[in-house]
């Protein structure tokens, strides 16, 4: 098929300098501004109320790590945070990193990795100031406040201290934005002398490094979306020969941690919902089951501590946390939470020897809270609840967890929040993602209230392709079963209509990245259902992207979508649902589309081409607006208030198109 809009891809990418391309994007931005100008009052009002729900001067709960208590603070009006610490033994507060100062003069700013050395004297951090997700790492002397001369550009990784804080392990992004390496930088030495500890030859795999919980081992992992492999190196001797835990086997994922000479392995080798196994360090590939895999319980991860370990998972889609004991496998202590639907997990627990666990908790009606769990007493203490300065009364809202049958009979969970006094088939916003085994938690959102307080029900469709109900749920929405994701979303919308919560044409929908692909698919298949659509950095040119192995993500994405270069069936299937390829002459709902010029994940030309072809083919007069952030990447604008402005624009568009007052 001829691609009439292929010219929108600048041949010099990632540099975008082609005048015709830039002029096109600027013209679309100008059209966006012109059409939204009449909504500026509503945008400002939405932004004002959203901002009023944020506690501007805010502080996190301090957490002990070694000799210091660490916390972060937002100052009144600040877009970015400041990182602080205080000696446990007493002493003055120390400002260790000032994001506000670092962001000054930059249209975009994002802090990546941040790591304090074990001796507490040095801080390694990495920043991205254009949205390209290529970070520059620096090292700060915390006593003097001075930066060391060491500077590592082009990182895309954690920063891991080793060898008594004399070395730093990191990964560089190569020309295709892939981390195919783990490298060791010796402090004070030129970058040219950095040592490559591991190089990954498979172009579909990415490399990452971390420390074991007891900080004695460097863990170097390499993986794609369905296969992984791990190597261990003594943190005190990072140049020692790596110990391979177990050779990669296609479809087998595993991650590890260590306690003494025992290796703990979280793996899906015998059950798709994962098991937890152990192995002697001397024979790391000899795995013995500690916790069996289960059809009912999805074991998502584990954390080791000196005296106990913690497993996390989901049961019927709801988060579970259990404390378990090394010396008594039968002793299982679940942490019990009060609501029927919620999101909970381990928070920041940096120390090895602890008797208190830091947790996070929220629900669609309960603001986020920080809690401490006393392991011995088995009691929860709430340390902080998210404050909403403009006021919030949870009693005004109700949340439900529904099950709506898909066309094949599968019951799809749907989380819904609305005001208790809402009646009738009013407007409804439906959100979905459905890819990569990423679950969408039923958590709290202050911005969401701006729709709910205007009569909307807000629903999250836990569609196949995510792992909300376990690994089988993920597999049922990938590769040859990808279209389940799209039909599930449509069937949820129809089910919500059947339950009297809304009606066709009164539903607004949104999704980003792979969720933007979802938006593109469902407006092709069922355009009449939707009253307004927001597609953020949408992955809509699926076939062309999967056919181009030179693009940053493509080789690593084949296990998720299929390889149309080698597999004719994959080619035909992807073409059958790829939103760009399936556009046709028909009416489409009102659309707001966004892109980031520096986005390495969904390149700007995908949404640009999609919008251009939509303008050519659509037979309606509905709004089609396209906004490209010229100085940002995949996540849109940075800063807590600048990003809020974009949400206000999206909600103003939705209210405008659905004819909702206020």
> How many angstroms separate the CA atoms of 464 and 575, rounded?
20
Cα 327 from chain centroid (whole Å): 36
Looking up tokens 């989901």 gives: 314
Largest CA distance in the chain: 71
Residues 6+ positions from 371 with CB-CB distance below 8 Å: 358, 359, 360, 361, 380, 381, 382, 383
Sign of CA dihedral 365, 368, 374, 380: negative
Question: Does the annotation mark 599 as catalytic?
Answer: yes
- Whether the CB-CB separation of 35 and 320 falls below 8 Å is answered with no
Q: Backbone phi, then psi, for 20, in 5-degree steps?
A: -65, -40
- Whether the CB-CB separation of 159 and 115 falls below 8 Å is answered with yes
The residue annotated as part of the active site, out of 415, 491, 599, 638, is 599
The residue annotated as part of the active site, out of 228, 526, 634, 638, is 634
The residue annotated as part of the active site, out of 369, 513, 578, 638, is 513
Looking up tokens 């898909």 gives: 406
> How many angstroms separate the CA atoms of 18 and 259, rounded?
55
> How many angstroms separate the CA atoms of 112 and 125, rounded?
7
HSE of 276, CA atoms in CB hemisphere, 13 A: 22
Looking up tokens 């109320």 gives: 49
> How many angstroms separate the CA atoms of 565 and 569, rounded?
10
Residues 6+ positions from 52 with CB-CB distance below 8 Å: 389, 390
Cα–Cα distance list, 539 to 270, 521, 536 (Å): 33, 10, 9
> How many angstroms separate the CA atoms of 71 and 68, rounded?
10
* Catalytic machinery residues: 513, 599, 634
């Amino acid at each position: 098929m001829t691609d009439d809009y292929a010219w929108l891809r600048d041949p010099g990418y990632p540099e975008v300098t082609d005048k015709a391309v830039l002029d096109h994007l600027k013209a679309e931005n100008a059209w966006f501004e012109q059409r939204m100008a009449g909504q500026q009052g509503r945008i400002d009002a939405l932004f004002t109320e959203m901002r009023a729900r944020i506690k501007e001067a805010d502080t996190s709960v301090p957490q002990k790590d070694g000799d210091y208590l660490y916390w972060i603070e937002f100052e009144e009006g600040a877009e970015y945070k400041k990182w602080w610490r205080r000696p446990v033994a007493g002493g003055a507060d120390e400002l260790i990193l000032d994001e506000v100062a670092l962001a000054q003069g930059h249209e975009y700013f994002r802090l990546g990795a941040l790591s304090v050395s074990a001796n507490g004297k040095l801080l390694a951090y990495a920043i991205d100031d254009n949205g390209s997700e290529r970070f520059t790492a620096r090292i700060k002397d915390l006593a003097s406040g001075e930066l060391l001369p060491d500077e590592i550009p082009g990182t895309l990784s954690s920063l891991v201290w080793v060898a008594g804080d004399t070395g730093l392990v990191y990964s560089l992004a190569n020309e295709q934005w892939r981390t195919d390496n783990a490298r060791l930088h010796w402090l004070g030495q030129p970058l040219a002398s950095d040592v490559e500890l591991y190089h990954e030859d498979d172009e579909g795999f990415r490399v990452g490094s971390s420390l074991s919980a007891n900080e004695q081992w460097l863990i170097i992992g390499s993986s794609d979306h369905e296969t992984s492999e791990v190597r261990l190196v003594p943190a005190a001797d990072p140049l020692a020969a790596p110990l391979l835990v177990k050779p990669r086997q296609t479809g087998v994922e595993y991650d590890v941690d260590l306690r003494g000479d025992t290796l703990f392995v979280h793996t899906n080798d015998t059950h798709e919902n994962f098991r937890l196994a152990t192995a002697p360090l001397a024979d790391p590939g000899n795995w013995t089951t500690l916790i069996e895999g289960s059809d009912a319980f999805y074991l998502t991860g584990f954390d080791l501590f000196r005296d106990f370990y913690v497993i996390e998972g989901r049961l019927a889609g709801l988060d579970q946390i259990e404390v378990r004991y090394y010396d008594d496998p039968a002793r299982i202590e679940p942490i019990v939470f009060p609501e029927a639907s919620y999101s909970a997990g381990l928070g920041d627990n940096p120390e090895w020897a602890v008797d208190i666990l830091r947790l996070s908790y929220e629900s669609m009606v309960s603001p986020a809270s920080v809690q401490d769990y006393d392991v011995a007493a088995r009691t929860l203490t709430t340390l902080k609840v998210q404050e909403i300065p403009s006021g919030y009364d949870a009693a005004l809202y109700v949340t439900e967890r529904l099950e709506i049958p898909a066309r094949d009979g599968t019951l799809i969970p749907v989380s819904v929040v609305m005001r208790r006094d809402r009646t009738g088939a009013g407007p409804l916003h439906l959100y979905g993602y459905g890819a990569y085994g990423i679950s969408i938690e039923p958590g709290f959102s202050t911005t969401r209230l701006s729709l709910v307080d205007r009569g909307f029900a807000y629903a999250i469709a836990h569609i196949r392709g995510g792992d909300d109900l376990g690994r089988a749920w993920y597999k049922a929405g990938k590769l040859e079963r990808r279209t389940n994701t799209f039909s599930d979303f449509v069937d949820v919308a129809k089910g919500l209509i059947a339950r009297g919560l809304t009606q066709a044409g009164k539903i607004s929908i949104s999704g980003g990245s792979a969720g933007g692909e979802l938006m593109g698919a469902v407006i092709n298949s069922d355009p009449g259902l939707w009253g307004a659509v927001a597609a953020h950095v949408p992955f809509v040119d699926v076939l062309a992207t999967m056919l181009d192995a030179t693009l940053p993500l493509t080789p690593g994405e084949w296990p998720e979508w299929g390889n149309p270069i080698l597999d004719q069936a994959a080619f035909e299937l992807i073409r059958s649902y790829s939103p760009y390829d399936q556009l046709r002459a028909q009416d489409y709902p009102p659309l707001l589309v966004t892109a980031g010029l520096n986005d390495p994940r969904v390149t700007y030309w995908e949404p640009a081409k999609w919008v251009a072809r939509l303008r050519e083919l659509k037979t309606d007069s509905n709004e089609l607006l396209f906004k490209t952030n010229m100085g940002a990447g995949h996540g849109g604008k940075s800063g807590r208030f600048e990003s809020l402005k974009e949400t206000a624009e999206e909600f103003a568009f939705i209210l405008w198109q659905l004819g909702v007052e206020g």
